[in-house]
Amino acid sequence: MGRVIQWKKTPRGIKGESEWGFFVVSVFDSQIIRVQASRWDQFYPNPYSVVYSPTNPPFDFTESEEYLELSTQKLSLRIKLSSFSCTFLDKNGSILNEDDPLGISWIGTEVSCYKKLQSNEKFIGLGEKTGNLNRAGNAYTNWNTDYFAYGVGDDPLYMSIPFYIGIHEKGAYGVFFDNTHKSVFNFGASTNRFTYFSAEDGEMDYYFIHDPQVKNIISKYTELTGRMELPPKWALGFQQCRYSYYPESEVKTLANTFRDKKMPADVIYLDIHHMESYKVFTFDQIKFPDPKALISYLKEKGFKVIVILDPGIKADSSYLPYQEGKSSGLFVPYPDGEEYQAQVWPGWCALPDFTQEKTREWWSEKMKFYTDAGVDGFWTDMNEPASWGQCTPNLLEFDWEGDKASHRKARNVYGMQMARSTKEGNEKQAKQKRSFVLTRSGFAGIQRYAAAWTGDNVASEAHMLAGIRLVNSLGISGVSFAGYDVGGFVGDASPALFARWMSIAAFSPLYRAHSMINTRDAEPWAFGEEVEEISRNYLQLRYQLLPTIYAAFYSSTQTGLPLAESLAISNPQDPKVFESAFQNQYLFCESFLIAPVESTKEITKVYLPHGNWYNLYTDEFFTGGKEIYVDCPLNYLPVFAKAGAIYAMQSEVLHTSQNHDQILRIHVYLSDQGSTFHYYEDDGISKTYQKGAYYKRSISYDPQLMELKFSPKEGDFKSTFKKTKLYLHGFHTEVLSVNGESQKLELENFAFLNKLTEFDPLPEKAHPYHEISDLKVLELELIDEEIAIAGLF
C-alpha cells in the first residue's frame, strides 16, 4: 500500500489514498471493523455473503504524526501512516493482531494481507477443511472442488468459508476475508515470519471481529453473514440415502423394513436414478411410474422424501427446461455469447447462471414439478459446479447481478446461489411450510439457505473421525446444520465401523446414512443382529432427545452458535483440547461431552475439561481438568453430561410426526454453578412460529437455594406435553424447591438406556456402566396453567 497520502473521516470511519492504492476503513459496531483496499478508487464488494447493515456506530478517532486510531468500547484499530499497516488492540491496549511491515500487498492481480505471528498462536475454523483442529503450521486453499474419495488430509474440498479465529495468550479474534476468488490462508507453512491470506484477484476486503469469548466471535460472524432459519423438525430425525434406491418397490420395502423393525427414521432420499436419463425435473416412468402415489404411500408411513437436484441441464432441444433456459438467456455463456456446455450425468449440459435473478426465479418455478408430487426436501449436488474433466474454463461470463464476472470470481458462490434458488423455490411452492435444502457446495453465508454434508467420504476409521472435525469446523464457521455420510459413501464399512458411526452420528446435527452404487447394503439392519440392535438403541436415543435437539436448533437460529461445539470454543486457552488424542471431542447441545473413538478400540483415553462431569449411563461423577480411561466396547460410546446440565427427553417414537406419551422428562445434574435450559417448541412444520405460534420457557437451577425455576411460558402455541417428570442426577437432598414450593423427592431405580448393554462384545468383563443409577424423580401433573407447579407444561 505504501505511505498514506491523503485521508478523510467518514460517518463510519475513514477513507483515503496511499502511494499504491485506495482504502476504506469502516466501524460496523463495537466488535467489528472492516478494512478494504484496492488498486483503484472504486470497490466491488461481494453481494452475497454479508447481510448485516449497521447504522453509523459511535467510535472515537484520534490523529497523531505517526498514526490514525479508531476506537470502540471493545476494539481499536491503529493505522500507521508511513505504511498503512494495521494493528488491532483490545480495550486494555493488548495487541490482538498486527500487520507484518509488508501489510497489504499485490503481486500482479494477487492481493495479500501479511500478519505477524503471535506467540504460540493457534488458528481454528475455515469451514470444511481437513487436518487438525489447530490450523497452525499449515496452508489451505479455498476453491470449491468435486473431490471423490478425498483423503483425510486433502485440500480443497467442496465448500469455501474464508473465516478463521486466532487464539493466543492475550485474547482471540476473528477474520472474515470477503473475496470470492480462489484464496489461500497460510498459518505459518514454510515461513516463520508471518501468516497471510491472499486471493488471486479482486480486492482486499476483510472484517476483523473481537470479543473476549470465542463464542461471541462466532455469534458476531453469523450476525454479519446471517444465521440459519429453523428447519422442519423431521429434518432432525434419521435420514436414509443410497446411490440409488430404485425401483419404487425397493423404496417401499425400505420404508416398511424401518417400521417393521421398529427403527426410527424420517427421511428417504431419491438419488439420480429417480430421473429419466438423469434429467432434473423428471421422474423415470419405468422405475417410478406414479411418483405422487409412491410419495403418498411413504407419507402414510411417516416418511418425508428428499430428491437430488443437479444443476446440469441436458442440452436436448426436446427437453423443456433446456428450451426455456436457452430462449430466456438463463445459462452461463462464453464471453462471445455462445452457450457453455460441459459433460455431467445426462451428457452435455448447460449450466444455469444462479448469479442472475431471473435464473433463480425460473429455477424456483421449475421446482413446482416436485412439490406437486409431494416432495418435501431437496439435495443440491454437483454444484461446485462439477463436470467430467474437472477443469471449467475461467473465461466464462456470469451475470453477477448485472456486473458480469468470470468463473474465477463466481465459482465459489455458485453452489450457494443454487441452494438459495432451491430454498426460495421450495418456500414459494410449499407456501407456509419450512424448507429443507442440503448442499455439497457453498460459501460464507450458506447457512442462511441450506444444511451441509461433507461429500464423498470413505468407509474407514480415519474418515469417521475426520468427518467429526469437519462438522465441528463448519460449526466454528457459522454452519450449525451439518453432517457426514454415516458408514462412508465410498467402499464397504465393516459391521463394527458402521455400528460405531451410527452411535457417534446420533450426536451430530445432521443424521444421515449414505452409500454408493456397487457397494454392500448399508442400512442399519444389513450388518447383522448385533449392529442392528446397537443402531436401534442409538436411533431411539436420538429421538428421545429431540426436545433438547430442537431447542438447540432454535437457539442456534438466534445466536449462530453450533450444536456440535469443538472444545476449543469454550476452552480456547486449554492446550489439551488441541492435542491429537482429544481434538475430536465436542459438546453436543451444550450438555453432552462426546468422546468419539474408533470401532477397533475397547478402551480409550478421554479428556474432561475443567468443571464437573457425570457418566451419562451410570451417573458416575468426575472432576474435570484431567484425563481418564474409559471402556468403549462397540455398544458403548463414551458420553458425559456436564454438571449443571438441564435437558429434555420424550418417549420413544418411530418418526417425528408420531405422538409421544405427553410426558416431558427433564434431567437436571447437580452443580455448584447455576444453569439454565431454554426449552422451545412449536408445530415443527410451518412458519407460524414467526408470528408468535411457539412455546418457550426457561428452566433454571439455583444451587444456593436448591431451587428449580420454570419461567412463565411465552408464545401462543399449546405444548404437546401434558406432564413433566424431573430426573435429578447427583442430588442428595430429599427436598427440592420448584418455583418456590418445596417438593419431597421419591427415590426410583432407573436404568437409563441400559439396553445399550444387551449386546456386550465382552460378556466376561464387568463394565461400570452396567450399574443401575439411583435417581430422585419428581412427577408434576398438569392441572391448570395458572398453578405454578402443576402447570409447568
How does DSSP classify residue 448? Answer: G
Q: How many residues does the chain have?
A: 793
Contact yes or no for 656/236 (Cβ under 8 A): yes
DSSP-assigned beta bridge partners for residue 77: 70, 88
Neighbours of 749 (CB within 10 A): 9
Q: What cell does 374 get?
A: 409431494
Half-sphere exposure of 38 (CA within 13 A, CB side): 15
Q: What cell does 760 get?
A: 456386550
Strand, coil or helix: 52 = coil
Cα separation, 188 vs 197, whole angstroms:
11
Contact yes or no for 323/350 (Cβ under 8 A): no
Strand, coil or helix: 489 = coil
In sequence order, which residues have a C-beta less than 8 Å from that of residue 55 and are 6 or more positions away? none
Residue 656 phi/psi, 5° resolution?
-70, -20
How does DSSP classify residue 434? Answer: P
Q: What cell does 763 get?
A: 460378556
Contact yes or no for 702/640 (Cβ under 8 A): no
384 is catalytic: yes
Cell match 405427553: residue? Answer: 662
Cα separation, 218 vs 214, whole angstroms:
6
Long-range residue pairs from 744-748, CB within 8 A, at least 24 positions apart, any chain = 745/776, 745/777, 745/778, 746/776, 746/777, 746/778, 747/774, 747/775, 747/776, 747/777, 748/774, 748/775, 748/776, 748/777
Residue 240 phi/psi, 5° resolution?
-110, 130
Q: What cell does 753 get?
A: 438406556
Cα separation, 553 vs 761, whole angstroms:
35
In this structure, what is the dihedral angle of CA atoms 620, 626, 627, 630, given to the nearest 10 degrees? 0
Residue 554 phi/psi, 5° resolution?
-60, -45
Q: How far is CA 763 from the centre of its chain?
A: 38
456 is catalytic: yes
Choice among 90, 271, 384, 565 that is catalytic = 384
Q: Determine how β-strand 194-199 pairs with β-strand 204-210.
A: unpaired
Q: Report CA-CA distances (Å) from 329 to 281, 340, 404, 408.
A: 19, 12, 14, 21
Q: DSSP H helical segments within 560-643, as ranges?
A: 567-570
Contact yes or no for 707/726 (Cβ under 8 A): no
How does DSSP classify residue 490? Answer: B
Residue 284 phi/psi, 5° resolution?
-70, 120
Cα separation, 398 vs 353, whole angstroms:
6
DSSP structure string for 164-215: EEEEETTEEEEEEE---S-EEEESSTT-SSEEEEEESSS-EEEEEEE-SSHH
381 is catalytic: yes
Choice among 146, 205, 353, 381 that is catalytic = 381
The number of helix segments (H) and strand segments (E) in the chain equals 12, 49
Rg (CA), the chain: 27
Q: Is the peptide bond before 244 cis (omega within 30 degrees of 0)?
A: yes
Q: What angle do CA 601, 605, 607 make, to 5 degrees?
A: 145
Q: What cell does 623 get?
A: 472432576
Q: What cell does 319 get?
A: 427437453
Choice among 271, 456, 532, 590 that is catalytic = 456
Half-sphere exposure of 201 (CA within 13 A, CB side): 9
How does DSSP classify residue 117? Answer: P
Cite the active site residues.
381, 384, 456
